[in-house]
Amino acid sequence: MKRRAFAQVGAGALTSLVVPLLGKEREFSADVVIVGASLGGCAAALSLLQQGLSVILTEETDWIGGQLTSQGVPPDEHAWIETHGATKSYRFLRSGIRDYYRRHYPLTKEARRTVYLNPGAGSVSKLCHEPRVALAVLTESFAPYLSRGKLTLLLEYVPTKADVEGDRTLSVTVRRNEDGAEQILSAPYFVDGTELGDLLPLTKTEYVTGAEGQDATGEPHAPVERNPKNEQAFTHCFAMDYAPGESRVIDRPKDYAFWRDHVPALNPAWSGKLLDWHYTHPRSLQTKKLGFNPTGEKHDGVVNLWKYRRIVAASNFEPGAYGSDISLVNWPQNDYMLGSLVDVTPEAKLRAIDGAKQLSLSLLYWMQTEAPRLDGGQGYPGLGLRPDIMGTADGLAKAPYVREARRILAKTTIVEQDCGKAYPDSVGIGSYPIDLHPTTAGDNYIDFPVAPFQVPLGGLLPQRMVNVIPACKNIGTTHVTNGCYRLHPVEWGIGEAVGHLLAFATAHRVSPRAVRATPKLLADFQSRLQREGVELAWPKTS
């Protein structure tokens, strides 16, 4: 299939290319099984496939790409992202997104000529875009491996159990959401690419959750005592546009009265009600006013939320292509702090997801009906959900935006005071502030800058299990350092390093931990990473 023709298939392409697995229970094997098609899971799969290995990749939703697609969040990146500080393949992904717009969208001549095109012209990212575009680009990347049988992709499957013998996992069983059919997946290696580290408890891989105490990590910003239930808020995002003069007010959400009056119980104290244009500034913790104006540039706060994560700026497209900008809502006002998704009962997890959805719908309803306007009035009834953008019936993202997961007990635990440290076993780099959102245990924001950092190979290796490897937010960070290692380019780089590691270990007939423990192997592996466009250290000018 030609590149352009495949890209035109778009987000629906994966459905028709998935290898059909029929029957109640069958066993399939590959060189590597990756459970979870997060950004890290996708990067791991691509790097393995490009080196000739076979891969089974599973995903619990019907969209691959995690936070960039099913969660709906444009990339959060550092200031140098256009030139360095990310892997070659991540830059290729970003270029692919821009090229997709140039090939298929009615851009203005000026926008089409813009080298660093930002389709949404959002203020939070240099590449604010629609989730479906990233999905199409990822789909295109996987197409040749699906058609050649090197990749088996199982959408809407969740892991349910694992066959474990000692310190090695032999197989993982996954269940299809639609009908409960199960498949047994076996491989020499298993990669956890899930958003919550779901493979870790199934495979008996030791892990931690929540916040470590200062006595364990020595981190200045860690709480004094450990609290495994102290996790960052998660968010159920949505997209909206604006039609002045129309009324698109949704039905009043069932929990609206609760959320309209809710004041987060945080320490230091939140600024007031959650549904308000005022919020607690992440750095100063002082009350700050956020602006909101979907009708123009004028606003009366520190930032115009309408532009903050805007994914379609109508001015970038030919007149009439869009009746309105489209904005992605992932704001302080819809961070859900009242429940967890990790190590809770299935019923509690569903309640938390429903609670987060109710909060997001309540935020929209408040904006439509009661939010203060610049002209002194109340509400913007022309605001409306865009379910087509999110690929769902209710207009909310397919999955919650997850900031914190289970984390392996690793050979190397990355602590706050080591951010910026030169690791001899570096397998990648990243840069982002330590950005911790309000937590389930009542901590307000913790947000402060840290030096550009490296990703140590020891942070990707469990202390005991030999063939289960994490590929996203489940590496050996702490609650604190997860705040800077969890964003898009770093997660992609982690996944890519994992793919290269397993391909290298397979080719040399050694274990991943032997690669790190043997100086010659480690040097050869790091040289290989560099040849593939993986930066291992920051230039002194950054």
Q: What is the pLDDT of residue 541?
A: 72
pLDDT band with cut points at 50, 70 and 90 for residue 540: confident
> 3-state class of 263 per DSSP?
coil
Token digits of residue 376: 């002194």
Question: Rounded to whole angstroms, how far apart are CA atoms 471 and 45?
Answer: 10
Question: Rounded to whole angstroms, how far apart are CA atoms 315 and 296?
Answer: 12
Token digits of residue 127: 């590449």
Residue at which a domain ends, from 332, 365, 390: 390
With residue 3 as reference, give the H or E element that holds it.
helix 3-9
Question: Rounded to whole angstroms, how far apart are CA atoms 130 and 353?
Answer: 23
Residue corresponding to tokens 């008996």: 204
Contact status, residue 317 vs residue 392, Cβ threshold 8 Å: no
Q: Is the pLDDT of residue 13 over 50?
A: no
92 within domain boundaries: no
116 within domain boundaries: no
> How many domains in the chain?
2
% of the chain at pLDDT higher than 90: 93
292: which DSSP letter?
Answer: -
The letter for the amino acid at 427 is V
Q: What is the pLDDT of residue 111?
A: 98
372: which DSSP letter?
Answer: B
Same domain, yes or no, for 383 and 436?
no
> 3-state class of 86 per DSSP?
coil
From the number of C-beta atoms within 10 Å of its C-beta (0-12, 13-18, 19+), residue 106 rates as: middle
490 within domain boundaries: yes
Q: Share the mean pLDDT of the chain.
A: 94
**What strands lie across the sheet with 55-59, from one edge to the other?**
151-155, 55-59, 32-35, 189-192, 468-470
Q: Is the pLDDT of residue 1 over 80?
A: no
Average pLDDT over residues 72-90: 97
Contact status, residue 437 vs residue 224, Cβ threshold 8 Å: no
Question: Rounded to whole angstroms, how far apart are CA atoms 405 and 96?
Answer: 29
Same domain, yes or no, for 310 and 421?
no
367 within domain boundaries: yes
Give residues with Cβ within 8 angstroms of 485, minimum separation 6: 414, 430, 432, 453, 455, 473, 475, 477, 491, 494
Same domain, yes or no, for 381 and 409?
no
Q: How far is it between the farthest Cα atoms of the chain?
A: 70
Same domain, yes or no, for 321 and 299?
yes
The letter for the amino acid at 524 is D
Same domain, yes or no, for 252 and 268?
yes
Residue corresponding to tokens 């997660």: 491
The letter for the amino acid at 286 is Q
> 3-state class of 324 per DSSP?
coil
Range list of H helices, 329-382: 346-369
CB atoms within 10 A of CB 436: 27
pLDDT band with cut points at 50, 70 and 90 for residue 7: very low
pLDDT band with cut points at 50, 70 and 90 for residue 25: low
Same domain, yes or no, for 225 and 244?
no
Contact status, residue 415 vs residue 218, Cβ threshold 8 Å: yes
Q: Is the pLDDT of residue 101 over 60?
A: yes
> 3-state class of 483 per DSSP?
helix
Q: What is the pLDDT of residue 250?
A: 98
Taking only the tens place, the pLDDT of each residue in 449-471 is 999 999 999 999 999 999 999 99
Taking only the tens place, the pLDDT of each residue in 197-233 is 999 999 999 999 999 999 999 999 999 999 999 999 9
Contact status, residue 304 vs residue 327, Cβ threshold 8 Å: no
Residue at which a domain ends, from 342, 364, 390: 390
Whole-model pTM?
0.95
How are beta strands 287-289 and 310-312 bridged, if at all?
Answer: unpaired
pLDDT band with cut points at 50, 70 and 90 for residue 26: confident
Question: Rounded to whole angstroms, how far apart are CA atoms 456 and 428?
Answer: 7
11 within domain boundaries: no
Give residues with Cβ within 8 angstroms of 521, minimum separation 6: 508, 510, 514, 515
Same domain, yes or no, for 280 and 372?
yes
Question: Rounded to whole angstroms, how far apart are CA atoms 501 and 521?
Answer: 11
497 within domain boundaries: yes
Same domain, yes or no, for 242 and 359?
yes
Same domain, yes or no, for 248 and 384?
yes
**What strands lie across the sheet with 326-329, from one edge to the other?**
310-312, 326-329, 238-242, 383-385
From the number of C-beta atoms within 10 Å of its C-beta (0-12, 13-18, 19+), residue 497 rates as: buried
Task: Tell me how many degrees the CA angle 98-136-307 measures, rounded to the nearest 5.
Answer: 50
Q: Is the pLDDT of residue 314 over 70?
A: yes
Q: What is the pLDDT of residue 10?
A: 36
pLDDT band with cut points at 50, 70 and 90 for residue 178: very high
396: which DSSP letter?
Answer: B
Average pLDDT over residues 300-319: 96
Q: What is the pLDDT of residue 392?
A: 98
Q: Is the pLDDT of residue 134 over 70?
A: yes
Token digits of residue 467: 């063939």
**Given its phi and psi angles, is residue 22 left (phi above 0), alpha (psi -120 to 50 degrees) or beta?**
beta
Q: Is the pLDDT of residue 20 over 90?
A: no
Q: What is the pLDDT of residue 234?
A: 98
pLDDT band with cut points at 50, 70 and 90 for residue 22: very low
Same domain, yes or no, for 271 and 330?
yes
190 within domain boundaries: no
Same domain, yes or no, for 338 and 421?
no
Taking only the tens place, the pLDDT of each residue in 29-54 is 999 999 999 999 999 999 999 999 99
Range list of H helices, 122-242: 131-147, 199-202, 214-217
Which of 366, 471, 478 minimizes the C-alpha distance to 412? 478
202: which DSSP letter?
Answer: H
Beta strands in 376-456 (DSSP E): 383-385, 407-408, 426-430, 434-436, 446-448, 453-456
User: What is the extent of the structural domain holding 322?
Assistant: 234-390
Same domain, yes or no, for 374 and 450?
no
Report CA 35 to chain centroid distance, whole Å: 15
Radius of gyration from C-alpha coordinates of the chain: 23
Residue at which a domain ends, from 390, 418, 435: 390
Which of 301, 331, 16 minimizes the C-alpha distance to 143? 16
CB atoms within 10 A of CB 147: 12
